[in-house]
Amino acid sequence: MNVVVVGGGVIGLSVAWRLSSEHEVTLVDPRPAGGASWVAGGMLAPVTEAWPGEEDLLELGSASLASWPGFAADLGLDLDTRGTIVAAADGADAGQLDTLAEFLAGRGREVERLSGRELRRVEPSLGPNVRSGLIVPGDLAVDNRELLRLLSSRAHEAGVEFIGEAAASVTSGVVELASSTLRCDLAVIAAGAWSGALHPALAGAVRPVKGEILRLRARQNALPPPTHTVRAMVESRAVYLVPRAGDELVVGATQYEAGFDEEVTAGGVRDLLNLAERVVPGVVEYTLTECAAGLRAGSRDNLPLIGSLGPGVVVAAGHHRNGLLLAPITAEAVRAMAAGREEPLVKVADPARLTGGTA
């Protein structure tokens, strides 16, 4: 088939790459390998993202996590397998972690509860404010920018045609650009937060959720960054710290509704640095190398939308904080749909639940 994929973030690139082995694929995006995927933290963490009431998301994320080693091997990408530490800074935060631990235990997930002192033996970078926490060994992490580079490279090698324009609308067999019209057998809407404007059924079903993120680097003679991914609750506010090669540390992320505003605010930077210092005090000696903002594609129930919107149109959007995590299972689901097969694992992400079956 002739397939047009609209959107070149991690979802669109993964879909285009996987489809290119069987179909002629064109990818449409004015800034491929950019957007929210470029500024992501790189955590592949369905367990530590879990919360009561989001059981379907946990199962979907866990299924995708199981696909990640093979997906990474096909790309030639290294995974960080050291797991995640989840830390609590006060009694109320510790109570939230207890709720999470009990929920995960009830779902048969492996977690280990530790005191603050025990956590500091495992991760010496943690400060005295950390009261208690969990160790989650199964979570993974990935360098998101290396992932995007490799996905782009593999897609080009496989013959995917890249068109550096924005799509204006998608209907059955037609993708309208500003200057031309592309006709295709299948159109895949994978434009992240911008997907809601491309098809009538997606209006109001996908929205932008702003997130600011920082990159720091340990200076000479400063304490080294954490060796594990650290997620923490500090006075009921979430922060994560993800180590990268070269003594780099990714700190994120704010989360709020601000439309399509992609500017970094001084308040967002201040809040992230304050929260990070409460967890890993050594960050105050680091160099601040980058401040960026991205727009996650949110849905009303935090589950993505993966499925048909009518003849010749499939959506793969609304992944919110889990775009990187869900990339393998999303790509395989779209590949199955293109071949006329159903993918049972993504049934919970059927867009009809939010679009009312509108096509």
pLDDT digits (tens, 9 = 90+) for 112-155: 899 999 999 999 999 999 999 999 888 999 999 999 999 999 99
At residue 274, the pLDDT reads 97
Over range 261-286, report the average pLDDT: 97
Q: Looking at the structure, do residues 164 and 178 belong to the same domain, yes or no?
A: yes
- Let me know whether 237 and 327 are in one domain: no
287: β partners: 217
Are residue 17 and residue 161 in the same domain, yes or no?
A: yes
Where a domain ends, among 255, 282, 298? 298
253 with 149, same domain: the answer is no
Residue 258 belongs to some domain of the structure: yes
CATH of the domain at 96: 3.30.9.10
Helix or strand (DSSP H, E) at 252 = strand 248-252
3-state secondary structure of 54: coil
**341 shares a domain with 322:** yes
Return the C-alpha torsion angle 74, 76, 77, 78, nearest 10.
110
Strand duo 229-234 + 84-88: pairing: parallel
* pLDDT over 70, % of the chain: 99
CA distance 157 to 321: 29
Residue 292, pLDDT > 80, answer yes
- Summarize pLDDT for 187-245 with one digit per residue, the tens: 999 999 999 999 999 999 999 999 999 999 999 999 999 999 999 999 999 999 999 99
Provide the sign of the torsion angle of the four alpha carbons 354, 355, 356, 359, taken in this order.
negative
Percentage of residues of the chain with pLDDT beyond 90 = 87
* Domain assignment present for 188: yes
Is residue 52 situated within a structural domain?
A: no
148 and 133 part of one domain? no
The pLDDT assigned to 109 comes to 82
- Whether pLDDT at 305 is above 60: yes
Same domain, 228 and 115: yes
Band of the pLDDT at 357, cuts 50, 70, 90?
low
| One domain, residues 125 and 188 | no
Q: Looking at the domain assignment, is residue 77 inside a domain?
A: no
Position 260 in a domain = yes
**Average pLDDT over every residue of 170-198:** 96
Indicate whether 26 belongs to any domain: yes
Q: Are residues 222 and 117 in the same domain?
A: yes
**CATH code: domain of residue 154:** 3.50.50.60
Same domain as 292, residue 213:
yes
* Structural domain range at position 115: 84-137+208-298
Mean pLDDT, all residues of the chain: 95
Confidence at residue 241, expressed as pLDDT on a 0 to 100 scale: 97
* Dihedral (CA of 36, 42, 44, 50) sign: negative
Torsion angle (degrees, nearest 10) of CA 326, 50, 85, 145? 20
Does some domain include residue 45?
Answer: no
Q: What is the DSSP letter of 194?
A: G
213 and 327 share one domain = no
Same domain for 148 and 180, yes or no, is yes
> Does residue 85 surpass a pLDDT of 90?
yes
Residue 76 lies in a domain: no
Map 203-256 to HEC letters.
CCCCEEEEEEEEEEECCCCCCCCCCCEEEEEECCEEEEEEEECCCEEEEECCCE
User: Is residue 176 pLDDT above 60, yes or no?
Assistant: yes
Beta strand 24-28 with 161-163: parallel, antiparallel or unpaired? parallel
When divided into structural domains, the chain yields a total of: 2
Residue 359 is predicted with a pLDDT of 42
Q: Token match 């129930």: residue?
A: 301
